[in-house]
Structure 1
Amino acid sequence: MSTSTYIYIFGENDTKIWGLTGRERLQRMLSSHQNIKLVNAVDTIPDTAPVLFLNANFLFDARVISAILGLEKKVVLNSNDDCPAAIRSDGNQAAPLLRNLNSSADHHHKFASLILPRIHLSDLNIDVQKNLKKKDPPYIFPISDSNRSLLENELFSGSYKGVTDLVTKWVWPVPAFWVTQLCVRHGWQPNHVTYASVVFAVLAGFAFWFGWFAIGLLMGWLMTFLDTVDGKLARVTVTSSRWGDILDHGLDIIHPPLWYLAWGVGLSTTATPISGLGILMVLMFIGYVGGRICEGIFHYWLAHFDMFIWEKLDSFNRLITARRNPNLILLTYGWLIDQPALGLLLVVIWHLISTAILGWRLLTGWRTKQTQGTLKSWLEDIDPARDRDLWAVKIFTRAPLHLTKPSAISVN
């Protein structure tokens, strides 16, 4: 049975980043961890128990908290200005450390951490975020009213997947930022946005079925936009639920082929019905399911990371591969030129081409693994700051944000 780590949050800061103070954000972030105990008084901590002090005057990268919780040694994690952001020790030293923090409140640069070794972010083993298909530098940013807007922008940008489709990457960010702010202001939860996206997905399907393509496309694009907003809202407010996650990802997998099927049925109500609809739908499902199977085999059998972050070619392919948003572009094009049947035909063809490419990449990955023994993501070999001149790095990573203004420690 693992020993619980006791967490004591010190520092007070009323500045809210996406509706949360530093203390509130830390509490939400810690709720996803096991074998921890939040305490309000250090005298309740057993002498031999591991303890982690966290400074609520800082905005923490979730990866930093996970990394320092995984350490077994006693350390002080300093920010760029040598202010203590986190201190890992044990219950026996908790009370002296708290007294030290209190005595250093007005001159935090003089914090007496000589009894513990000091480390910085570069000393932590933090690498590629495989779940978000990106590599961003870990961060600890000081929270203040003067940099609130910068931090909100940084946190929102950081909530995006690095490798995704061209609409999500370049069209949605600005309006999604505004709508996310609106949701935070009114207290709307990510699940509320997800429920709305489900409604629009169903409405789009019905509209396509009856041949109301313009209305269906409007509903469809609204659905895809809200699908972006709910994830960003969840990440910037550290709000998530198992049901919301299942609903969101389940909807993403199920609805696209049903939309294309409904579009095909809807063509029978137009002046240009499509012939051979049954064959087209079989080919579409083969392309859709085949692509997902290729991705799944690669992820679980070859590399244990997403196919689209293997090599730069795969990341560029993800921008346009046959997923919902690129396919919606094709359907919208067909409607705009008054040839909705052509739009569906392009979707089917693009599915088959994309799946053929994924199959080729899967075979290439298998051969590479046979000869090299393992596969590695191209993101592991780059530095987002150092390699900024590389086109792929500019597109799929973000430049680090540097904030050096210190925040005062107030231990209450």
Structure 2
Amino acid sequence: MMTVKAYLEESSDTPLWGLTSRERLQKMLSKMEGIELVGSDELAEIGTEILVLRADYVYDQHVLSGLANAEQVILHDSNDHTVVAIRTRVDVASAVQPPRIAEFVDHALEPVTPSSVASGLESKLRKFDAPWVARVSAQNREPLENALYRAAYKGVTDLVTKWVWPLPARAVTRFCARTGIRPNHVTSLSYVLTLLAGVLFYYGHYGSGLVCAWLMTFLDTVDGKLARVTLNSSQFGNLFDHLLDLIHPPFWYLAWGFGLVLNVPDSIYWLIFIGYIGGRLCEGAFKTAAPFSMFIWQPFDSVNRLITARRNPNLIILTLAWLCGALYVGLVLVMLWTLISTVVLGVRVLMARAAARRGAPLTPWLSNVDSVAERYPLMVRWFTFSAPSIRSGG
């Protein structure tokens, strides 16, 4: 693999989520394959592939990846056309010192903008964000932190995570970042709340159990966002978080049933577990037809993810049942909704595999946002994000 040497120019002392823009860039570049971050006192040899970035700017990850894979380009800020970065090869004229952006302004490099050098589709987070860069300043600190927080959020998720948690989770994430609380600390508290909620359900204390359950789901949003905005994600932290998410929901429903004063038929528990496992298997089976999440295949799938029988939609059912004094009915409704959701997912898998056998191309609808905007305007507003509008104040 070709190695690209990265140089950083300029700097800003304004921290964003606890990191200066230079520190943020250094962390982002260190995690990119094929990128070697070189100090300003090191000379680049003639013929070296280089990436020179202004470190007083914050960059969307898609832009950095696009620049690393580009050739002979000069990046302009879409807002004021400032030259922000260059990606080129060192020539004789620039071999005597670390190359600087100013040297290449008049060179024959292809001018690009964030949206032309990168794609905003992020399959792992099931979202589309317009690529962007922005200059860092004290005046821009809050909107830039908000933009980075939004970039850390999944575009396609359940309705609670998408529309209820963002504002309070941002406040708690900011508190954690500024007080040194790390993502794994938050996840550890989530484990405690998960166990406590299960125990409370088991002993019939449904109100307090639901409080613990909802707090756990809230912190499940916070830990992931904290890891992404502070660039403190790790393989262990990712496994630590997702293992909890994967295992605990059906055991909550089991504890809920055990806490009831009446005898719950074993078939209800079996159907809940079968439906839950079946739904997860369907999500994995979809990737035998297409290498992306089934929830970004078509607009229907993204809407389905809002309400499909995952933890938060099922907690809504159980909370409403508790408020109505219909605890057993709530458990039955969770069973039915889990089975219905799994059937829907199974049908979507069969449809995708049939399309693949016919040779029809399977692509995420989020990768063609412009072409579907007129047909699905509401879906585009729900599941995509435009580039942040941030003034380049000094």
Class of the TM-score when normalised by the shorter of the 2 chains: over 0.9
TM-score, structure 2 normalization: 0.93
Instruction: Tell me which of 334, 340, 352 is aligned to 1:347.
Output: 334
Give the letter aligned to residue 248 of structure 1: D
**In the alignment, is the contact (CA less than 8 A) between 1:8 and 1:42 conserved in 2?**
no
**In the alignment, is the contact (CA less than 8 A) between 1:51 and 1:94 conserved in 2?**
no
Match of 2:369 in 1: 382
- 1:182/1:385 Cα in 2 relative to 1: closer, same or farther (>3 Å)? farther
In 2: Cα distance, 1:224 partner to 1:21 partner: 30
The count of aligned residue pairs is 392
**In the alignment, is the contact (CA less than 8 A) between 1:385 and 1:399 conserved in 2?**
no
In 2: Cα distance, 1:379 partner to 1:262 partner: 39
Match of 1:60 in 2: 59
In 1: Cα distance, 2:313 partner to 2:241 partner: 19
**In the alignment, is the contact (CA less than 8 A) between 1:7 and 1:54 conserved in 2?**
yes
In 2: Cα distance, 1:61 partner to 1:152 partner: 12
Shift of 1:100: 5.6
Shift of 1:350: 0.5
Shift of 1:97: 7.7
Instruction: Tell me which of 262, 269, 272 is aligned to 1:281.
Output: 269
In 1: Cα distance, 2:372 partner to 2:364 partner: 18
Query: Which deviates more, 76-85 or 145-154?
Result: 76-85
In 2: Cα distance, 1:264 partner to 1:89 partner: 64
1:27 and 2:14 are equivalent in the alignment: no
Q: Unaligned regions of 5+ residues in structure 1, if any?
A: 105-109, 408-412
1:119 and 2:109 are equivalent in the alignment: no
Shift of 1:50: 1.4
- Percent identical residues: 44
In 2: Cα distance, 1:261 partner to 1:323 partner: 15
1:291 and 2:290 are equivalent in the alignment: no
- Equivalent residue of 1:383, what SS? helix
Match of 1:334 in 2: 321
Query: Which deviates more, 76-85 or 137-146?
Result: 76-85
**In the alignment, is the contact (CA less than 8 A) between 1:274 and 1:341 conserved in 2?**
no
1:196-275 aligned within 5 A = 196-267=189-260, 270=261, 273-275=262-264
- 1:275/1:89 Cα in 2 relative to 1: closer, same or farther (>3 Å)? closer
Shift of 1:402: 2.8
Match of 1:74 in 2: 72
- Equivalent residue of 1:44, what SS? coil
**In the alignment, is the contact (CA less than 8 A) between 2:74 and 2:109 conserved in 1?**
yes
**In the alignment, is the contact (CA less than 8 A) between 1:205 and 1:259 conserved in 2?**
yes
TM-score, structure 1 normalization: 0.89
Match of 2:173 in 1: 180
Give the letter aligned to residue 144 of structure 1: S
In 1: Cα distance, 2:190 partner to 2:241 partner: 9
Question: CA RMSD, aligned part only?
Answer: 2.2
In 2: Cα distance, 1:128 partner to 1:395 partner: 15
Q: Unaligned regions of 5+ residues in structure 2, if any?
A: none
Give the letter aligned to residue 75 of structure 2: L
**In the alignment, is the contact (CA less than 8 A) between 1:83 and 1:406 conserved in 2?**
no
In 1: Cα distance, 2:271 partner to 2:373 partner: 45
**In the alignment, is the contact (CA less than 8 A) between 1:75 and 1:119 conserved in 2?**
yes
**In the alignment, is the contact (CA less than 8 A) between 1:16 and 1:22 conserved in 2?**
yes
1:312 and 2:299 are equivalent in the alignment: yes
Match of 1:13 in 2: 12
Give the letter aligned to residue 68 of structure 1: L
For CA contacts below 8 A with separation 6 or more, give which structure has more relative contact order. 1
Shift of 1:35: 3.2
